[in-house]
Structure 1
Amino acid sequence: MMLKEVAIENFTDMPKAINAGARRIELNDNLAVGGTTVSKGVLAEATRYAHEHQVSVVAMIRPRGGDFVYNDLELKMMEADLFEAQAQGVDGVAFGALTADNWLDEEALENLIGASAGMDIVFHMAFDSIPQSRQAEAITWLAEHGVSRILTHGGPLTTPIQETLGQLKTLVEAAGDQITILPGGGITAENVDEIGAQLGVNEAHGTKILG
């Protein structure tokens, strides 16, 4: 059975997504820039509503659009948002942090992972900015540090997912059973089952994954 994770903006689309069969929701503000952290009020009410309907919630932890190179103040904001997500009983959190040369910001990530205790951790599409030659190494680092899933398009979002399936397959093989590769970006209700079968995955992510 394919688990379809739907990315939504704020609370507005949540009842509709749940009625359409969403079992897991990635909760964002501002999807136009790839998703940022929702307000405390939205986080609290959306989590409560989802849990009443036996649906799990992954909160996006991202203080702004743009790149994934964060300064100390931004990382402090992310940490505060992680503690808030934990206080609201959120099931999982999605974040990423990179260095200026597009490697994992290991020190920042260790702190963010530490602040996420008890929640599933998803490394989001910042992963696609890591050079492909180092992605297998990144998978191992993230798996060893307790990250549950990596959300990836297998390449730049401007490239259709049909053209990144080869790289996604490589990532699924590199991950093995140490971590889940969660494909996303361009996955729709029409193509999700076919993509899942091609990649041999049973989870997928998208804004239009439920039609």
Structure 2
Amino acid sequence: MLKEACVENFTVVPAVIDRGADRIELCDNLAVGGTTVSPGVATVTINYCHRKNVKVMSMIRPRGGDFIYRREELEMMKQDLIYLKQLGTDGVVFGCLNDRNWIDEAAMHSLLELAEGLAITFHMAFDQIPYEKQFQAIDWLVEHGVNRILTHGGPANTKIEDNVARIQEYVDYAAGRIIILPGGGITNQNLESITKNLTVSEVHGTRVVG
């Protein structure tokens, strides 16, 4: 089971790698769900992780709040993505929605083009997509080369233990075409009990390795 540790800044990176993190999702401002780190933090973290043979997925998000981005915000995301790619990040994490809570296809196209050659995760913006459109969203993301979907399986205020059946529905529908990455409440304490009913190969969390 690959364990992706979601970290804020560099502070805990050495410790979570020592405790068994296989991959790092690099963010700032986790109190608002994660935003893009500074260039300095990115440089130090990516270099450190690569010396430890650990891959880094870098968050591309200019602010907290919703996932509907203005033109200027999208330009910030593009510039951050270009810079992080130059620094050697292994992948990027982003998600854009429109005012109907469907994928902002134009925004996604522009970011996906710049992210060519990197691993791509569509983050928990997925959980804002209406229930009845989520399978359609999986199809769209598969067709456009996204590698994985980070999902809580339901609203953020729900327990992930209560969402296991829905997450497994995503896994079954994806049928190996895209990785379903469960997260949001998975810890080293409940990891085994949650994953025993999920056919997943990766998990995500701020406390996934304690």
SS at match of 1:199: coil
Query: Which residue identity does 2:27 align to in structure 1?
Result: N
Matched, 1:162 2:156: no
Query: Residue 132 of structure 1 corresponds to which residue in structure 2?
Result: 131
1:183-206 deviation line (CA, Å, top 9, x unaligned): 000101011123222111110000
SS at match of 1:142: helix
TM-score when scaled to structure 2? Answer: 0.99
**Contact 1:50 1:56 survives alignment (8 Å):** yes
Query: Which residue identity does 1:30 align to in structure 2?
Result: N
Query: Which residue identity does 1:32 align to in structure 2?
Result: A
Deviation at 1:177, TM superposition (A): 1.0
Q: Which runs of 4+ in 1 moved over 2 A?
A: none
Matched, 1:37 2:36: yes
SS at match of 1:198: coil
Separation of aligned partners in 1, 2:138 and 2:83 = 27
**Contact 1:30 1:36 survives alignment (8 Å):** yes
1:17-52 deviation line (CA, Å, top 9, x unaligned): 111111100000000000000001110110000000
Matched, 1:118 2:104: no
Query: Residue 191 of structure 2 corresponds to which residue in structure 1?
Result: 192
Query: Which residue identity does 1:118 align to in structure 2?
Result: G
Query: Which residue identity does 1:110 align to in structure 2?
Result: H
Deviation at 1:166, TM superposition (A): 1.5
Query: Which residue identity does 2:56 align to in structure 1?
Result: V
Separation of aligned partners in 1, 2:74 and 2:173 = 29
Separation of aligned partners in 1, 2:193 and 2:171 = 16
Query: Which residue identity does 1:201 align to in structure 2?
Result: V
Query: Which residue identity does 1:136 align to in structure 2?
Result: F
Query: Residue 87 of structure 2 corresponds to which residue in structure 1?
Result: 88
Separation of aligned partners in 2, 1:32 and 1:89 = 26
**Contact 1:196 1:203 survives alignment (8 Å):** no
The sequence identity of aligned pairs, in percent, is: 53
Query: Residue 10 of structure 1 corresponds to which residue in structure 2?
Result: 9
Query: Residue 177 of structure 1 corresponds to which residue in structure 2?
Result: 176
TM-score when scaled to structure 1? Answer: 0.98
Matched, 1:61 2:54: no
Separation of aligned partners in 2, 1:192 and 1:115 = 34
**Contact 1:20 1:210 survives alignment (8 Å):** yes
Separation of aligned partners in 2, 1:75 and 1:193 = 38
With 187-196 and 197-206 compared, the bigger mean Cα shift is at 187-196
* Runs of 5+ unmatched residues, structure 1: none
Query: Which residue identity does 1:112 align to in structure 2?
Result: L
How many residue pairs match? The answer is 210
Separation of aligned partners in 2, 1:30 and 1:185 = 15
SS at match of 2:196: helix
Separation of aligned partners in 1, 2:168 and 2:15 = 32
